[in-house]
Chain A
């Protein structure tokens, strides 16, 4: 192994994925192991925190061992241990945090706590070797909808956020209402391809006083109302049209806000990140808008959009080379803010 290389062992357990990865110099993936619990949680129509935590503890060592094996290295070759310490489900986070602290302690390696969303943003560095801050990033997932100005690798400014539901949450709720099941995002994305996105004019919410904030609860209610009205009038619902029109309304708002924010910040780079960033229609919409405005568009492959440890290793690397190191008292912080340092 080349001594000058910096290898980070990264661990992620903030929700329902137990993941570990080895990253070289922040941008090169040596291994990427993800144990997804999604099949378990489907039985309950959403992630059950206690079940997620129990599954993490069962799988965490195997996932880490596999990540080291796949990277063809041992703990001795690792320079630092990075771990997600928030935001997320507290019980789930605690498994990764306690495990990472114990490994860092027993090996004498530095421990680097990583913000989950900053990890999602850093997922863009893996396949876009030329991407460097500053840039604008639209973060969209089951739990988060943020417009983040990435000032530097470790400096962020939130310029837009959802006032109610996250975009991914709205996808899940609408998917349930039209009988698609959990998780809703990929299912709506697939069904929408068969529908007419202009069939039903669902509303685009504006948030008073803050140009770049989002609100999706009104849109979700509009969809539910539409379904109720159809039922009362005994009109057969075209589910593909509902999926397409709902998705179009979400993506329209996300795209417009992201482009306006990028332009207003005087930036020429826009990235997307988070689970919903793998939605094919969202990618197409943002790509086209960027082309039109002369903005460079960046996005991770779907495998790096869902929760993974590679992105934690990427973000952890940039913290590590800046000298960030956490103590043995590092705790899980379920509501950790973007850019916050604890």
Chain B
């Protein structure tokens, strides 16, 4: 079983080819260039280097959200186009779960955070149990203060990761009351290989769709829809 994985949900662009328990290639870049210009050339690079025939791929995995709306769509349109042309299914993996997968079998609670703007983070809480990632609290956009309150109530040691860490590091340090740490550089951002590993689990439980049917999950309405909904309530 060979999976091609793509993540362009955050600051990092990452692509990987994973076959069963082997990571064949991974290319991760955290640089200011736009994902639109880098993602497909990166994929091309690893495909060429590993002499991969794209037709031998069994499924394409993608970070389905949350994340930057535009970043999610670049990744989504890329996998939809690949899936369309190659006639391969798409496995949408929740972005925050993919991040948590970076820290396999960690005993502490895992708390990936991504900057969601408007003073919120996209986050979720995860724990490895029996060597399998369990969702303690599913991914949502919430205020960082609310997240910290939840963690303080749970009272467990926690590891933070994600590109939201530098943004909220000071807030966390000043109000967290449980033992905590921040994940180091090699595992603190999106890695397409980790996404692929999580994707195998989704695949095995039949959680995949056709490329035509795949859509990202933003976890948020557009601003226009939100304002319209608020107006309708106040009317």
Contact = CB atoms under 8 A, between A and B. Distances in A.
Contacts of B84: 61, 64-65, 99, 102-103
A61 B85 contact: no
B161 to A, nearest CB: 27
Q: Which of B77, B85, B218 has the most CB of A within 10 A?
A: B77
A328 B36 contact: no
A164 interface: no
A105 B40 contact: yes
* A interface secondary structure, majority: helix
B81 A94 contact: no
Contacts of B44: 105, 328
A48 B218 CA distance: 16
Contacts of B170: none
A180 to B, nearest CB: 21
22 contacts: A44-B228, A51-B222, A51-B225, A56-B73, A58-B215, A61-B84, A61-B212, A94-B73, A94-B74, A94-B77, A95-B73, A97-B77, A98-B78, A98-B81, A99-B80, A99-B81, A101-B78, A102-B40, A102-B81, A106-B82, A330-B37, A332-B36
A198 interface: no
B212 A62 contact: yes
Contact of A60 (B38, B39, B41, B80): B80
B219 interface: no
A288 interface: no
For the side of the interface on B, what is the size category? 20 to 34
B69 A91 contact: yes
B134 interface: no
Nearest to A62: B212
Contact of A94 (B36, B40, B82): B36
Interface string A52-74: 01101110111011000000000
A75 B41 CA distance: 22
Contacts of B233: none
B76 interface: yes
B77 A57 contact: yes
Q: Which of A43, A96, A106 has the most CB of B within 10 A?
A: A106
Contacts of A314: none
A54 B65 CA distance: 13
B79 A91 contact: no
Interface string B39-66: 1110110000000001000000000000
A50 interface: yes
For the side of the interface on A, what is the size category? 35 or more
A106 B76 contact: no
B80 A61 contact: yes
A107 interface: yes
A291 interface: no
B222 A54 contact: yes
B70 interface: yes
A48 B82 CA distance: 28
Nearest to B34: A331
B211 interface: yes
A100 interface: yes
A221 B129 CA distance: 67
